[in-house]
């Protein structure tokens, strides 16, 4: 392989737990560990800019060091990060929120990633797919469709202000090595509205007004004004519907359940108890469907979504 020359691998082990379709392997050569990520040849459905974005982020020190990348063949080789739980970040949640905000500011200050799609358009296309899956009875999703239409009418963004964006800043894509944070999995990366990554981070890492303030202050280098806060409320409706679409699409693809007229959902605490007690299995279609419906409830009513942490 071009990344290693004639060096022989001492060990090669698959890495489990990822949510993408790529095949990652941990490779050890001369006591150094690498992650070899195999995605396969390019397809029309793949974001064509993920490897360019990954390289820019690696050069900025945000992503692990990149040793080799071939976008046409879908192969990347990077340093392997021995991760530790985010819950063990020194200083607790407040310090983690600050570090995440600072990382987001660094990401958005890099040379801009290539353009790909307009975020409201991809949310709308994903939602249209959910409506065609047959997961829900006719009319059940009409209020959500109407809310999306109103949000798109209100949403105004000048693409000239777009910045480098990861677009999937959920816990599984943020690694802590015991000293610092790294961003991984750049499949959704392209130039976007800067509020999108901020909105995703807030819903996953800032469960209180205090943590929101810490994260936003670290991101901006100043306190957010009322206009930005109002914009984040608008953008969070889009990001919440996006994740509802991702989860419900996955549930539909793996389930033959009949159309449902019930959109009731458990509380966050009840969901975690069900997972802890073994009544729900992380990653199972039923769990994804429940999570998707919880994101739908958040999209429609404005409450806090369940988050996408590793336990879920």
In degrees and rounded to multiples of 5, residue 273 shows phi and psi of -65, -40
Distance between CA atoms of residues 121 and 118, nearest Å: 5
Which residues lie closer than 8 Å to 28 by C-beta, 6 or more apart?
9, 10, 11, 12, 34
- 307 is a domain residue: no
Looking at the structure, do residues 243 and 162 belong to the same domain, yes or no? yes
Are 189 and 297 members of one domain?
yes
Q: Which long-range contacts (CB under 8 A, 24 or more apart) does 83-91 make?
A: 83/175, 83/176, 83/177, 84/176, 84/177, 84/178, 85/176, 86/171, 86/174, 86/176, 88/176, 89/176
Here the CATH number for the domain that contains residue 282 is: 3.90.1200.10
In the structure encoding, which two tokens stand for residue 190, read together? 């392209």
Residue 182: which domain range? 86-301
Q: Is residue 230 part of a domain?
A: yes
- Segment 26-68, tens digit of pLDDT: 999 888 899 999 987 777 778 899 999 999 999 999 999 999 9
The total number of structural domains in the chain stands at: 2
Rounded Cα gap, residues 167 and 173, in angstroms: 11
Residues 141 and 262 grouped into a single domain: yes
Instruction: Name every residue whose Cβ is closer than 8 Å to that of residue 11 and which is 6 or more positions away in sequence.
Output: 26, 27, 28
Give yes or no: residues 108 and 22 share one domain.
Answer: no
* Domain boundary residue, one of 63, 79, 95: 79
Residues 40 and 112 in one domain: no
- The reply to whether 92 falls in a domain is yes
* pLDDT, tens only, 191-227: 999 999 999 999 999 989 999 999 999 999 999 999 9
Contact by Cβ (8 Å): 261, 302: no
- Together in a domain, 120 and 205: yes
State the pTM of this model.
0.92
Using CA atoms, how far apart are residues 90 and 88, in angstroms rounded to an integer?
Answer: 6
Please tell me the total number of residues recorded for the chain in this structure: 312
pLDDT of residue 2: 57
Domain assignment present for 311 = no
Residue 117 belongs to some domain of the structure: yes
- Residue 149 inside a domain? The answer is yes
Residues of the chain with pLDDT under 70: 1-9, 17-21, 255-258, 310-312
Question: Does 99 fall in a domain?
Answer: yes
Cα separation, 79 vs 81, in Å, equals: 6
CATH number of the domain residue 43 falls in: 3.30.200.20
């Amino acid at each position: 392989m071009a990344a290693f020359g004639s060096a022989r691998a001492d060990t090669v082990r698959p890495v489990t737990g990822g949510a993408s379709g790529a095949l990652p392997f941990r490779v050890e050569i001369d006591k150094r560990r690498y992650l070899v990520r195999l995605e396969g040849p390019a397809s029309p459905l793949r974001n064509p800019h993920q490897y360019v974005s990954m390289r820019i982020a690696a050069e900025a020190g945000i992503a692990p060091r990149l040793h080799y990348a071939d976008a046409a063949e879908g192969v990347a080789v990077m340093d392997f990060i021995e991760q530790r739980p985010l819950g063990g970040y020194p200083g607790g949640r407040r310090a983690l929120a600050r570090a995440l905000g600072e990382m987001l500011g660094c990401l958005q200050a890099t040379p801009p990633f290539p353009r790909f799609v307009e975020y409201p358009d991809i949310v709308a296309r994903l939602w249209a797919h959910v409506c065609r899956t047959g997961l829900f009875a006719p009319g059940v999703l009409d209020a959500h469709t109407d809310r999306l239409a109103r949000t798109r009418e209100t949403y105004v963004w000048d693409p000239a202000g777009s910045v480098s964006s990861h677009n999937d800043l959920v816990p599984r894509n943020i690694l802590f090595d015991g000293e610092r944070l790294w961003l991984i999995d750049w499949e959704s990366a392209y130039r976007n509205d800067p509020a999108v990554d901020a909105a995703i981070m807030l819903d996953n890492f800032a469960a209180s007004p205090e943590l929101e303030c810490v994260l936003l202050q670290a991101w901006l280098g100043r306190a957010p004004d009322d206009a930005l806060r109002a914009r984040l409320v608008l953008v969070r409706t889009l990001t919440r519907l996006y994740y509802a679409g991702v989860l419900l699409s996955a549930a539909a693809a793996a389930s033959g359940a009949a159309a449902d007229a019930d959109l009731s959902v458990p509380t966050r605490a009840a969901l975690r108890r069900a997972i802890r007690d073994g009544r729900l299995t992380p990653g199972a279609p039923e769990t994804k469907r429940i999570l998707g419906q919880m994101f739908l409830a958040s999209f429609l009513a404005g409450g806090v979504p369940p988050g996408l942490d590793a336990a879920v």
